[in-house]
């Protein structure tokens, strides 16, 4: 049977949340043997996400953990100030280590772990590329880091450096969307997690440096020559007219879920 792909997605309540989750879930519906781990940045599971997942047709696990107040990005903060989704990804890892730890008499766990933010764009092909991950597999990410793409540079089948616009000296100068880890490696390294206190740009490195070295990385997507995932970002919808109408008592019906 195919190795299961465990996709960990941090998500938080905002106007575009349901739209993002709809787009994502309808991609995942095309991927065989996928288990979606949705982690809400919230002190409780929200009805919107609970109901959405129930109707999604996907195999899923619904978790939640609020981002600590001092870690949370404030409305007026620039988006690069603090890393986002850190506690949520770690909660997903915690669940995997608890729920998928090898049971007596059970064979080795065949699975792959991927961190999929709710606003990116994923080609179906990337899931088939990552399914054969032995330890850590890597590939290019489009539209990220102020570049057309960032990618590992492959020579003789090995990753030798990284094409990135910024601080190439980081241990793993890669976006979250550009790698997957085998479940076995995640279970074998119970302390590997994302460090929310890591300096800017070092979040991915904080996790990966406990798991692999550069020469062990497995290049996918045709030796990292194809872009199969994009770090797209969704524009915040303007609510000027909504607010104007609300002031007159003519706002949209709040019982309609958007
Ligand atoms: N996220 C979250 N809480 C927040 C902000 C973001 O859980 O307060 C999630 C978000 O839904 C996404 C991930 O963390 O899945 C990365 O956030 P975002 O896409 O805003 O980051 P960027 O695109 O700027 O890297
Ligand atoms: Mn994003």
At 240-254, the pLDDT tens digits run 999 999 999 999 999
Selecting among 40, 91, 150, 204, the annotated active-site residue is: 204
Does the C-beta of 120 come closer than 6 Å to ligand 1? no
Give the predicted TM-score (pTM) of the model.
0.96
- How much distance in Å is there from the Cα of 244 to the middle of ligand 1? 29
Give the ipTM. Answer: 0.99
- Residue 109 in this model has a pLDDT that exceeds 80: no
Q: Which of 10, 14, 91 to mutate to test the pocket of ligand 1 (most atoms within 8 A of CB)?
A: 10
Does the C-beta of 83 come closer than 6 Å to ligand 1? no
Three-class SS of the chain: CCCEEEEEEEECCCCCHHHHHHHHHHHHCCCCCEEEEEEECCCCCCHHHHHHHHCCCCEEEEEECCCCHHHCCCCCCCCCCCCCCHHHHHHHHHHHHHHCCCCCCCCCCCEEEEECCCCCEECHHHHHHHCCCCCEEECCEEEECCEEEEEEEEECCEEEEEECCCCCCCCCCCCHHHEEEEHHHHHHCCCCCCCCCCCCCCHHHHHHCCCCCHHHCEECHHHHCCCCEECCCCCCCCCHHHHHHHHCCCCCCCCCCC
Q: Which of 65, 67, 84 to mutate to test the pocket of ligand 1 (most atoms within 8 A of CB)?
A: 84
pLDDT per residue as tens digits for the range 116-161 = 999 999 999 999 999 999 999 999 999 999 999 999 999 999 999 9
pLDDT per residue as tens digits for the range 219-232 = 999 999 999 999 99
What mean pLDDT value characterizes the chain? 95
């Amino acid at each position: 049977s195919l190795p299961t792909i465990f996709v960990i997605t941090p998500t938080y309540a905002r106007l575009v949340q349901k739209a993002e989750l709809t787009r994502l879930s309808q991609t995942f519906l095309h991927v065989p043997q996928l288990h979606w781990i949705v982690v809400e940045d919230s002190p409780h599971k929200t009805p919107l996400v609970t109901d959405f997942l129930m109707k999604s047709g996907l195999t899923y696990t619904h978790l939640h953990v609020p981002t600590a107040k001092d870690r949370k990005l404030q409305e007026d903060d620039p988006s690069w100030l603090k890393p986002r989704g850190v506690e949520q990804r770690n909660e997903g890892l915690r669940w995997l280590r608890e729920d998928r730890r090898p049971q007596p008499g059970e064979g080795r766990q065949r699975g792959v772990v991927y961190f999929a933010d709710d606003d990116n764009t994923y080609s179906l092909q990337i899931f088939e590329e990552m399914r054969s991950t032995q330890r850590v597999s890597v590939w290019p990410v489009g539209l990220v880091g102020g570049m057309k793409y960032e990618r590992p540079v492959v020579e003789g089948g090995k990753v030798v450096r990284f094409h990135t616009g910024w601080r190439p000296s980081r241990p793993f100068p890669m976006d979250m969307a550009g790698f997957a880890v085998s479940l076995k490696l995640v279970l074998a390294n119970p302390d590997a997690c994302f460090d929310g206190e890591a300096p800017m740009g070092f979040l991915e490195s904080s996790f990966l440096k406990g798991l692999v070295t550069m020469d062990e990385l497995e290049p996918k997507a045709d030796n990292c020559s194809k872009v199969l995932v994009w770090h797209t970002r969704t524009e915040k919808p303007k609510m000027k007219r909504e607010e104007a109408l609300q002031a007159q008592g003519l706002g949209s019906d709040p019982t309609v879920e958007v």
